């Protein structure tokens, strides 16, 4: 059967019968499993006042781009959750060196601006979590400056000081006599807090409650949690750290039982699991991020299959955060050396797998520069990000095609495809929070899996190679046939399909005679 060449990303819907899963095999519901999150660096998203810095008012003005609150429109991205990188008063542009845990950074606006942003996001059905950096503060934080100026004062025990230099994480206090050192795991400008001091814990928990109870924020992303409390020479994943976060989790849930916490634990899966459930609701799945990139760039399913198999035997169903890239990594377009088809296929894998997906701002239009201004319109000054002098050099890409305005008018652009993929996930419970069963395809370049919830089932097939594949097989049970005339991504590219089951009542075949290079297909089974 001859099929037309398809643009690399096609979703097909077809109808055939399938045995339903038992109730015990379906996911229990948590609201975060119904969400697609979007990570935003506020400084780089939208400036409202011409000072060159993105701000909360600018972000509010762009909320309709993210989700306009109307399920019947297709011009918004469709995300249903936002993770804001640090918005508290901080020393540097990135915000991970806090100066005040209870104040909004003046570059971003005021507390009232923040509350208004939360309200406007909620009107559109968007949940909001904010970055909470507990491990360290800025070296210019009033606590640290006081500790240096008054070694016998109350703040000296808010940090860890030593007269010796045990290892490279201890930094010298300049011009100190006798010599004195302080502990700072990340760098000398970010000294670690001392959580063996009850006063530190009390203040941090008060700040945690403050944002939950006074602003309507829906939860937190917790930065670098495995480094919180050191024990002797052990500087990560200590029993004291786990014990502290168990108490933290109780405090969060007491303030708001529906509050959501997602942790950054850049480690192996058993370690990530150890923080999941009673310390964090979920944690980021770094091995999965790496495996998606490796399988897509290498055109081989095995790296991803290996991680997926381990994931299925490690985590409670769907209780982990998935992502392609974040602010600490190279952007996807750099990873794939500008290959748009690979970027799109990675997105298709992410948005059809279990877990809670997080997208990094600008990935949907193919940005390759990290922490730079969002590109809205090539015809406007500074690409529509600001009318003033941009806070950082290099906000422009080499091609004006990497803008929201240019891609919005192109039905086959990266942005348009992201919109359709997110809409597909949002509209199908099995893709949001269903079970996954890996399917053996007989071809190392073809990745396939079944997503199921109750009586709803989808088969997802990815051709990871650049070339058309005909040598593959999809084994399914009790299939009466397969017909498809509709595509949610590219309707004009689909022709009718018709396949039958074998005499034994089993369907083992090829839903498509040919899988075009870098294509993804999603068949609904009923």
CA 79, CA 68: separation in Å to the nearest integer?
Answer: 10
- Write out the two tokens for 488: 């949610």
CB atoms closer than 10 angstroms to residue 73 = 11
32-37 mean pLDDT = 97
Which of 395, 416, 431 is at the close of a domain?
A: 431
8 Å CB contact between 189 and 91? yes
Reply yes or no on whether the pLDDT at 155 is more than 50. yes
Query: Exposed, middle or buried by CB within 10 Å (0-12, 13-18, 19+), for 213?
Result: exposed
CA 200, CA 211: separation in Å to the nearest integer?
Answer: 17
Pick from 199-203, 374-378, 478-482 the range whose average pLDDT is largest.
Answer: 199-203
Contacts of 101 (CB under 8 A, 6+ apart): 88, 203, 204, 207
8 Å CB contact between 430 and 317? no
452 found inside a domain: yes
98-116 mean pLDDT = 97
- Write out the two tokens for 56: 């909360």
pLDDT at 42: 97
CA 302, CA 291: separation in Å to the nearest integer?
Answer: 9
Which of 431, 451, 484 is at the close of a domain?
A: 431
219 found inside a domain: no
13-31 mean pLDDT = 40
Reply yes or no on whether the pLDDT at 108 is more than 60. yes
CA 469, CA 327: separation in Å to the nearest integer?
Answer: 35
* 21 & 103 share domain: no
63 found inside a domain: yes
Give me the domain span that covers residue 458: 12-25+434-525
8 Å CB contact between 206 and 116? no
Tell me the CATH number at 399.
3.20.20.80
CA 505, CA 197: separation in Å to the nearest integer?
Answer: 67
Tell me the CATH number at 519.
2.60.40.1180
Reply yes or no on whether the pLDDT at 99 is more than 80. yes
CA 133, CA 220: separation in Å to the nearest integer?
Answer: 10
* 396 & 418 share domain: yes
Q: Which candidate, 322, 357, 321, 324, places its Cα nearest to that of 342?
A: 324
Reply yes or no on whether the pLDDT at 166 is more than 80. no
* pLDDT per position as a tens digit, 431-467: 999 999 999 999 999 999 999 999 888 889 999 999 9
pLDDT at 456: 85
CB atoms closer than 10 angstroms to residue 169 = 18
* 450 & 408 share domain: no
235 found inside a domain: no
Number of domains in the chain: 3
Enumerate the active-site residues. Answer: 223, 264
43 found inside a domain: yes
* 470 & 482 share domain: yes
* 273 & 295 share domain: yes
pLDDT at 400: 84
* 121 & 146 share domain: no
Query: Exposed, middle or buried by CB within 10 Å (0-12, 13-18, 19+), for 22?
Result: exposed
236 found inside a domain: no
Contacts of 491 (CB under 8 A, 6+ apart): none
Reply yes or no on whether the pLDDT at 194 is more than 80. yes
Flag the least confident range among 223-232, 283-292, 387-396.
Answer: 387-396
Reply yes or no on whether the pLDDT at 393 is more than 90. no
Reply yes or no on whether the pLDDT at 234 is more than 50. yes
Reply yes or no on whether the pLDDT at 107 is more than 50. yes
* 426 & 441 share domain: no
* 175 & 314 share domain: no
pLDDT at 20: 30
pLDDT at 502: 57
Flag the least confident range among 60-69, 233-242, 281-290, 384-393.
Answer: 384-393
* pLDDT per position as a tens digit, 114-141: 999 999 999 999 999 999 999 999 999 9
115 found inside a domain: yes
Reply yes or no on whether the pLDDT at 243 is more than 80. yes
Residue 514 — pLDDT band, cuts 50, 70, 90?
Answer: confident
* 328 & 410 share domain: yes
Which of 431, 466, 493 is at the close of a domain?
A: 431
CA 78, CA 36: separation in Å to the nearest integer?
Answer: 8
* 426 & 438 share domain: no
pLDDT at 475: 77
Contacts of 131 (CB under 8 A, 6+ apart): 83, 84, 85, 86, 87, 95, 96, 220, 221, 223
* 338 & 395 share domain: yes
Residue 215 — pLDDT band, cuts 50, 70, 90?
Answer: very high
CA 127, CA 442: separation in Å to the nearest integer?
Answer: 41
Helix (H, G, I), strand (E, B) or coil at 27: coil
Q: Which residue has the higher pLDDT, 330 or 167?
A: 330
pTM higher than 0.85: yes
200 found inside a domain: no
* 417 & 446 share domain: no
For residue 515, how far is the Cα from the chain centroid?
A: 29
């Amino acid at each position: 059967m001859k099929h037309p060449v398809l643009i690399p990303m096609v979703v097909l819907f077809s109808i055939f019968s399938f045995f339903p899963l038992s109730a015990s095999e379906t996911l229990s519901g948590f609201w975060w499993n119904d969400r697609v999150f979007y990570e935003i660096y506020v400084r780089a998203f939208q400036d409202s006042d011409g000072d060159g810095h993105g701000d909360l008012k600018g972000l509010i003005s762009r909320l309709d781009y993210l989700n306009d609150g109307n399920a019947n429109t297709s011009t918004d991205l469709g995300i249903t959750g936002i993770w804001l990188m640090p918005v508290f008063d901080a020393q540097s542009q990135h915000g991970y060196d806090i100066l005040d845990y209870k104040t909004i950074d003046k570059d971003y606006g005021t507390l009232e601006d923040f509350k208004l942003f939360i309200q406007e996001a909620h009107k559109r059905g968007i949940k909001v979590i904010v970055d909470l950096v507990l491990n360290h503060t800025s070296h210019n934080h009033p606590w640290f400056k006081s500790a240096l100026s008054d070694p016998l004062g109350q703040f000296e025990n808010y940090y860890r000081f030593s007269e010796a230099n045990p290892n490279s994480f201890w930094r010298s206090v300049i011009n100190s006599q006798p010599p004195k050192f302080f502990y700072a795991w990340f760098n000398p400008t970010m000294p670690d807090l001392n959580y063996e001091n009850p006063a530190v814990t009390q203040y941090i928990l008060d700040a945690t409650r403050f944002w939950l109870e006074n602003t309507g924020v829906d939860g937190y992303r917790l930065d670098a949690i495995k480094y919180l409390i050191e024990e002797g020479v052990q500087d990560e994943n200590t029993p004291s750290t786990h014990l502290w976060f168990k108490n933290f989790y109780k405090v969060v849930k007491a303030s708001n039982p529906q509050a959501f916490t997602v942790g950054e634990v850049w480690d192996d899966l058993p370690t990530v699991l150890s923080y999941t459930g009673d310390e964090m609701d979920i944690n980021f799945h770094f091995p999965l991020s790496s495996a998606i990139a490796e399988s897509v760039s290498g055109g081989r399913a095995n790296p991803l299959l290996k991680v997926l198999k381990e994931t299925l035997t490690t985590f409670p169903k769907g209780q982990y955060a998935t992502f392609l890239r974040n602010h600490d990594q190279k952007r996807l377009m750099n990873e794939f050396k500008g290959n748009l088809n690979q970027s799109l296929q990675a997105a298709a894998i992410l948005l059809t797998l279990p877990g809670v997906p997080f997208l990094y701002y600008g990935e949907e239009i193919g940005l390759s520069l990290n922490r730079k201004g969002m590109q809205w319109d090539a015809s406007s000054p500074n690409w529509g990000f600001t009318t003033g002098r941009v806070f950082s050099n290099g906000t422009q890409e080499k091609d004006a095609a990497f803008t929201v305005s240019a891609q919005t008018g192109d039905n086959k652009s990266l942005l348009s495809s992201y919109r359709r993929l997110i809409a597909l996930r949002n509209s199908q419970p099995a893709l949001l929070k269903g079970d996954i069963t890996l399917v053996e395809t007989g071809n190392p370049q073809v990745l396939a899996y079944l997503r199921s919830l109750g009586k709803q089932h989808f088969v997802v097939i990815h051709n990871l190679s650049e070339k058309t594949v005909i040598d593959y097989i999809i084994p399914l049970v009790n299939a009466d046939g397969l017909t498809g005339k509709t595509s949610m991504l590219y309707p004009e590219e689909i022709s009718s399909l018709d396949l039958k089951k074998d005499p034994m009542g089993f369907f083992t075949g090829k839903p498509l005679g040919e899988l075009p290079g870098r294509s993804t297909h999603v068949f609904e089974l009923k």
